Structure 1
Amino acid sequence: MTGIEQKHDPPRLSSVDDPSMLIDWLRRTGAETPVHFDPERQLCQVFRHADIMSVVADWETFSSDDRHLVPQTDGFQTFTKGNLASLDPPRHHQLRKLVSKVFTPRTVATLEPRITELVDRQLDGFGTGEVDLVDTVTNPVPALVIAELLGIPEQDRAIFQRWAFDMVGLGGQVDVTDPDEAGDAMSGISRIMNDMNEYAFDQIAQHRRHPADDLITRLVEAEVDGMRLDDEEIVGFVLLLFLAGHITTTLTLGSMLLCLDDNPATAAAVRGDPDLIPGVIEETMRQRPPFPTSKRLVTRDTEIRGVPVPEGAGVVLWLAAGNHDEEVFERPGEFDPVRSPNQHLGFGAGIHFCLGAGLARLEARVVLRRLLARYPGLEVDRQAVRFYGSTSIVGPRLLPVRL
């Protein structure tokens, strides 16, 4: 500990600890201390839904550009230049327009046949007995979908999939309330980022020479207020879309199976009525959001719920805690697929609401529908499930199921 009360430090998790331990801690801590500022760490933790929404709405006071909170390497700087998650208006609005057309409901809906084909192809490879769904379905399917959208050559998609998986493994070792741990993890992430950047620069050059009907080509040809994007901005865009479009869905798919395993009556109802699947997805995002936090940088002295927070401090928004706020969600500990309204923060909020939320929902719906249709008796081998052992990533790293 570094001088703050232990109750304000999230629990240390191992690979066998279910993230529900973290959720329980968040629910208790948020009820007792909605906002906690640690002057030694210069870190403010925010737990309540209303306070989180207030912070994300005030981007001038709470900036998303938190780059100085983690060590900056060349690879990381290149990535963040076009990373929407680290940009504030007006640049954020300008760049978001470029890719928003790719993720309209109509455009996303056209992808369903291809996603179904990819899911069925993965399921066709199943044998009998027990399989790891992360390795066979929840990791490869989202990676293949987003790689196709971007225009990554088929022979290279396994490389991108491995890079993303390795980065999540490193990021999953970080305690979000400990800046020193973030620094340690960044050295490993930076090495992977350098390889990804080099590859992305090469793809940009190839798409410039040989345009195609894909997202990289659109970014190469796009103009923002009459100006072209530079290659570093395109790299940041490409890698963000791949990582966010892949990993968020991978984690959500695994957590969805765990939520159903925890709630057998709901699982039985879903098998009988697939129309319940969209509600299962939303409730999974509420109960087990893949990324339980979001960070901000304070640009001027301010306060949150009456707690003074100085300029330069970091803010950890506990989205997972907001998802269990009793002031917003009745019986937040219950898994309720027909909960309405469900104002969860699993996809973020405000101007940084997940651009690919519609695609993630579609992939989750197709995967669960096809899995239950083929394997109605599917059971999770709960003793063999392994997690990231992290406060920054929620989802299984290993998900064995009996077919």
Structure 2
Amino acid sequence: MDISEVLSTNFTEFDIGSPLSKVAGAFENQELDAVVVTDGDEYRGIVSRRQLASSSIQPSAKVGSQVQHVPTVERTEDVREVARLMIGSDAKTLPVLNKGQLVGVVTADAVLKAVRPFLDSVTVADAYTEKLVSATPDTTVGKALNTLREARIAHLPVVDENDLVGIVSLYDVIDFTVRGGSKSQGGSAGSFGGGGRTSGSHGGFGAREGDSDRILDLPVRNLMSETVATVRLNAPLDDVVETMFEREISSLVVTADESDEPVGIITKTDIIEALTWERDDRRAVQVFGLDLLEGMDYDDVAELIESVTAKYGDMSVVKASIELHEHKEQSRGIPLVLARIRLVTDRGYFTADGEGYGATHALRLAANAIERQVLKGKTYGQSKKNPEAEPQEHLYGWWLGG
């Protein structure tokens, strides 16, 4: 299946010189995940809703200062490859080009709607993220915001001992601080990567001066939603996707089959990532943009990742996703490159960026940042389970012609 059937020609576009305050206003449309940025007729990149909510920026800044460079795809691109690119770039909206011209966008939601009928034999247990990144009712708003930003997630379940008592999203926190502490209504819904969507989100411009410290010291019980969508481990993924769209949410807390104890979370990102599984033994390390590396091949990159985890002791790589993107900026003919590493191990999840002149330099900077996290034991939750081969057969049938 290619994306020609699911791409959308309706997208919101901003010129590179537009103020970010206008973009923040556009995101009050809760269905909008990202806007396309252009310079005249030339495509330049995107700005995502989560990006704005996660950044400390001034409303008067220009859109060009926050442009995110994500992979572009052709309208004939395979859905599975699009899923890989979304996971590798941590983006849920990708621009679609035809002969270099922007013709539309493809979103994670569109992909999930297209593949939902083929997910009936894969269960939550095959794809969910084990061990919650969570808060307690007494966790301060400031600490919750820091956790959401550092872990690059947008949903934070609230657990009191072993009881799931609520959930708070990145957008709840931002809206709460912007509005000066009045309780947000809602607290569950749609952002890629375990995210949330609630009414009245205004982007990441922070609290008003003078109120910030007081608001950030309040407990999250002041803004959490007490209504939390949950799912059992044995539930099929097609039912999970259906629930997400019916309830306009993007994550469900996973509870043990024998009790209501929360044991993990299943997000749209997790399901999209399931589409990237290999039919047979999959490579633990996936590299997007390998051709940008100078003097390194795939084996060198895999060895670099293994050397980072080896410094922790008995740590095994479950999966590593590496995205390399080349900017137009150069220094002495060497392009500026962004390297992003997402590392899943049997000890936890790590993520870091590195930016430098030349892909090899950028990759090593990102690897150094991951290594510092590993040595400090700074994880963002436990690893995902490796899917068994049998549940994957049906999942692959639709793109292998079965």
Shorter-chain TM-score above 0.5: no
Query: TM-score, with normalisation over the residues of structure 1?
Result: 0.25
Determine which structure has the larger strand proportion and give its number: 2
Give the structure with the larger helix fraction.
1
